[in-house]
Amino acid sequence: MAECFFHTGRPAVTRCKQCGRPLCSECRIIKPEGIFCSAECAERFSVFAKRAEEIEAKRSKNNGLAGLVKLIIFLVFLFIIYLVIRRFL
């Protein structure tokens, strides 16, 4: 690990979860979301995490609709095959 970003000569024990700066045990700010170098980085990470959750929720909602459309197309395809086979038998 590198030296602490804020204290030259002190060995770093971890890195900021947001910006990646190496930190000594004295400089780290421990939050429930992770370890950060400053309140600003903790806030940026919080905003990022919230936006990522919103995007994932939208993506999950859209994937559910796409899955339903695929299922309907598959069932129509099976029905057409059934009609074709029935016609020739």
CA separation for the pair 89, 69 (Å, rounded) = 31
pLDDT tens figures, 29-74: 999 999 999 999 999 999 999 999 999 888 777 666 777 888 899 9
Q: Which two tokens stand for residue 66?
A: 């796409």
48 CB-near residues (< 8 Å, 6+ apart): 18
pTM: 0.64
Residue 65: per-residue pLDDT: 72
The kind and range of the H/E element at 76 are helix 39-88
CA separation for the pair 58, 65 (Å, rounded) = 11
Whether residue 1 has pLDDT greater than 70 = no
CA separation for the pair 7, 43 (Å, rounded) = 23
CA separation for the pair 13, 4 (Å, rounded) = 8
Residue 88: per-residue pLDDT: 82
